[in-house]
Amino acid sequence: MADHDPECIFCKIVAGELPSLRVDEDEDTVSFLDVNPATPGHTVIVPRRHTADLLSISAADLAACNVAAQRVAERAIDRLGAVGVNLLNNCGSGAWQTVFHFHLHVIPRYADDPLRLPWIPAAGDRDEIAATHATLSGNPG
């Protein structure tokens, strides 16, 4: 894994080669406002080191991004009046990832915001859930 990909838009933002509105940064992460925000305060958290996605990020960089996301979420609630926060990661093009530099979206939620995510919770098939559990956990039955 290279620390910097000269073709990556997020690497260019981290390096200061492209403008951004940074709201937080530390030794390992940079957090900046999304230019296509879902809600006011929608922030993107990226590791300074280039890595493509959730499957390739180091545990240390993932932890650093989560800590940064928590800081930004607290600010959104304290300073913007958000009533909640969605934390979102898209891993792979099948999950709508469009920039292949790991990133977390911190999306502040407001009582009257119009954002609706595509998933609406509904009861699942218990047998299917049990079979999925057996597959993921390695514990048949």
Which residues belong to the active site?
103
The Cα 77–Cα 114 span in angstroms is 18
d(CA 78, CA 45): 18
Angle at 111 between CA 105 and CA 115, to 5 degrees: 45
CA angle 104-37-62, nearest 5°?
5
CA atoms within 13 A on the CB side of 109: 10
